[in-house]
Structure 1
Amino acid sequence: MSDIAKCKDNKCPSRLMCYRFTAPASEFWQSYCNFNREEDANNCNMFWGNKYENILNQLKDIVNGKED
């Protein structure tokens, strides 16, 4: 589950590379947002690359005392 506003832009050219689109949704409660991407833009100013998912998981492990 992701505690972020997920993106609903199914036509965004960068959607499969953006964590806001690809993050797993909560089955109980999830917020979605239209981030107002310009029609001819590759992504919006709220683009969050998928590489950040790995960083977030590492930070969660550190906070929970699971350092490598």
Structure 2
Amino acid sequence: MMRNRAVGMVALAATLAITATALGGCVTVSAPDKPIVINLNINIKQEVVYRLDGKAKAVIDENAEIF
């Protein structure tokens, strides 16, 4: 019984090896004909919010040439 099992395992291994060899050449990889285009529509918005103290605004208005 052990001998039959060993023969069966050898036959299975041989079948798998032949199948793997036959299927090994089926995979091909090639570069695309057209360039790959990635379209990124990105909108970047930045808002700057500032508040000035009344006194600071008055100082800036008095010394406009500095700023």
Q: Under a length normalisation based on structure 2, what TM-score does the superposition of the two structures give?
A: 0.25
Give the structure with higher Rg (CA): 2
Q: Under a length normalisation based on structure 1, what TM-score does the superposition of the two structures give?
A: 0.25
Higher-helix-fraction structure: 2
